[in-house]
Chains A and B, each alone.
Chain A
Amino acid sequence: MSDILPDPVLSVRDLRIGLGKQNEILHDVSFDILPGETYGLVGESGSGKSITGLSVMGLLKRPLEVTGGSVFFRGQDVLKLGSRARRRLRGDRMAMVFQEPMTALNPLATIGRQIAEMFVIHRGMGWSDARRKAVEALESVRVPSPEERVRSYPHQLSGGMRQRVMVAIALACRPDLLIADEPTTALDVTVQAGVLELIAELCTAEGTAVLLVSHDLGVIANMCRRVGVMDRGRLVEEQDTRALFENPLHPYTRGLLAARPRLGSRTLARRGRLTELDQVVTAEERGRDAPTLTTPRGFGLEASA
Chain B
Amino acid sequence: MSTPLLEIRDLNVHFPLPRQSLLGPKRTLRAVQGVSLTLNEGECLSIVGESGCGKSTTALTVMGLQGPTSGEVLFQGKPLTGPGAPARKDRARIAQMVFQDPYASLNPRQTIGRMLSSQLSLHGIAKGSEASHRVADMLVRVGLTADHADRYPHEFSGGQRQRIGIARALMLDPKILVLDEPVSALDVSIQAQIINLLMDLQETLGLSYIMISHDLSVVEHVSDKVAVMYFGRVVEEGDWHSIFSRPTHPYTRRLIGSVPDPDVILSGTRTLPNAAPVPETARFSPDISRRPKPDEEPEPSELVEIGRSHRVRLAQ
Contacts and interface: CB of A to CB of B under 8 A. Distances in A.
Interface of A: 44-45, 159, 188-193, 196, 215-222, 241-242, 245-246, 255-257, 259-266, 268, 271, 273-277, 305
B126 interface: no
B255 A259 contact: no
Contact of B258 (A189, A259, A266, A277): A189
Nearest to B44: A271
A278 to B, nearest CB: 8
Interface of B: 50-51, 158, 187-193, 195-196, 199-200, 214, 216-218, 220-222, 240-241, 244, 254-256, 258-266, 268
Given A188-B214, A263-B220, A263-B256, 6 more contacts: A215-B187, A256-B188, A261-B221, A273-B196, A274-B196, A277-B193
Top 8 nearest A-B pairs by Cβ distance? A218-B260, A221-B262, A277-B189, A193-B258, A274-B192, A188-B50, A259-B192, A44-B187
23 contacts: A44-B188, A188-B50, A189-B50, A189-B216, A190-B50, A192-B260, A193-B258, A218-B265, A221-B262, A222-B265, A246-B266, A260-B188, A260-B217, A261-B192, A261-B217, A261-B218, A261-B220, A261-B221, A263-B259, A263-B261, A263-B263, A263-B264, A266-B221
B217 A221 contact: no
Contact of B244 (A216, A221, A264): A264
Contacts of B241: 268
B172 to A, nearest CB: 27
A259 B50 contact: no
Contacts of A273: 196, 199-200
Contacts of A159: 51
Q: Which of A221, A245, A265 has the most CB of B within 10 A?
A: A221
Contacts of B199: 271, 273
Contacts of B264: 263
Contacts of A260: 188, 192, 217, 262
B9 to A, nearest CB: 28
A256 to B, nearest CB: 6
A178 B87 CA distance: 55
B57 to A, nearest CB: 16
A222 B196 CA distance: 27
Given A219-B260, A261-B192, A242 B266 contact: yes
A26 B224 CA distance: 43
A305 B265 contact: yes
B310 to A, nearest CB: 15
Contacts of A196: 260
Nearest to B256: A263
A215 B158 CA distance: 15
Contacts of A192: 258, 260
B255 A255 contact: no
A271 B284 CA distance: 31
Nearest to B220: A266
Contacts of B255: 189-190
A260 B200 CA distance: 18
B61 to A, nearest CB: 22
A274 B266 contact: no
A264 B191 CA distance: 18
A274 B194 CA distance: 10
A219 B265 CA distance: 10
A46 to B, nearest CB: 9
A277 B196 CA distance: 12
Contacts of B266: 221, 241-242, 245-246
B189 A255 contact: yes
A188 B217 CA distance: 14
Contacts of B195: 261, 274
B187 A190 contact: no
A102 to B, nearest CB: 13
Contacts of B254: 190
B261 to A, nearest CB: 5
A221 B265 CA distance: 7
A245 B262 contact: yes
Nearest to A191: B50
B260 A222 contact: yes
Contacts of A217: 188, 262
Given A189-B214, A241-B266, A218 B261 contact: yes
Contacts of B51: 159, 188
Contacts of B189: 44, 255-256, 259, 276-277
Contacts of B244: 263-264, 266
A45 B157 CA distance: 11
A260 B199 CA distance: 16
A189 B266 CA distance: 19
Nearest to A159: B51
A291 to B, nearest CB: 23
